Amino acid sequence: MDIVFHPIGLVRNSHPQGQKPPTWRGVRSRIELDPRWTPALNGLDDFSHLVVLCYLHLAPPDAPPTLIHPQRNAALPLLGFWSTRTPHRPNPIALTVVRLSKIENNILSVQDLDMFDGTPVLDIKPYLPPPDGTDQITLPQWVFDLRRG
C-alpha cells in the first residue's frame, strides 16, 4: 500500500536546520499555506490553539535505531524511540499544539511551533479539549529531569 501526502504549506521562521533554539516555547513562526487553501481558513481564527502536523523532511531516511537516549543525552534512560519525541521514526510525522496569533490571507502567525524553517506542513486542525487534551496524564521521571536541564 502506498500512502502519499502533499504539503499544504511551509513553516517560516528564523531557525534553519542546525539552529535549534534553547526552547521552542515562545518562538514565533508563520505557516505559509498554498493560496488555494485560503478559503478553508474561514472560522479558524475563532480558535486560540491549533494542532499542526508536519513532515520531518530533515530526518534521515534509514531505519531508526529502536533504542535511544532522549535528546541524545546519555544521562537519561535508554528507551524505545516510540517513548520519545525523536524525529528519527519510520514515518517522520510531527504533531504540535501551537497558539494562533493571527491569520492574514494564507498566512497563519503562530507561537511554539517546534519546526525548522522550510518544514512542510501536512495538515492543520483546531485544538479541541477534550478529546485533544486531558488532565489525567502520567509522565516518567526522565521527562521532568530533561525539562529541569
Residue 129 and residue 83 in contact, taking contact as beta carbons nearer than 8 Å: no
Q: How far is CA 71 from CA 54, 58, 141, 142, in A?
A: 19, 16, 15, 11
Assigned C-alpha cell, 79: 528507551
- Quote the DSSP letter at residue 142: H
CATH number of 9-148: 2.40.30.70
70-117 pLDDT tens trace:
888 899 999 999 998 888 889 999 999 999 999 999 999 999 999 999
pLDDT digits (tens, 9 = 90+) for 41-55: 999 999 999 999 999
Please state the domain extents for the chain: 9-148
pLDDT in tens, 14-27: 988 878 777 788 88
List pLDDT tens digits, range 78-90. 999 999 888 888 9
Residue 135 has pLDDT above 80, yes or no: no
Predicted TM-score (pTM) of the model is: 0.88
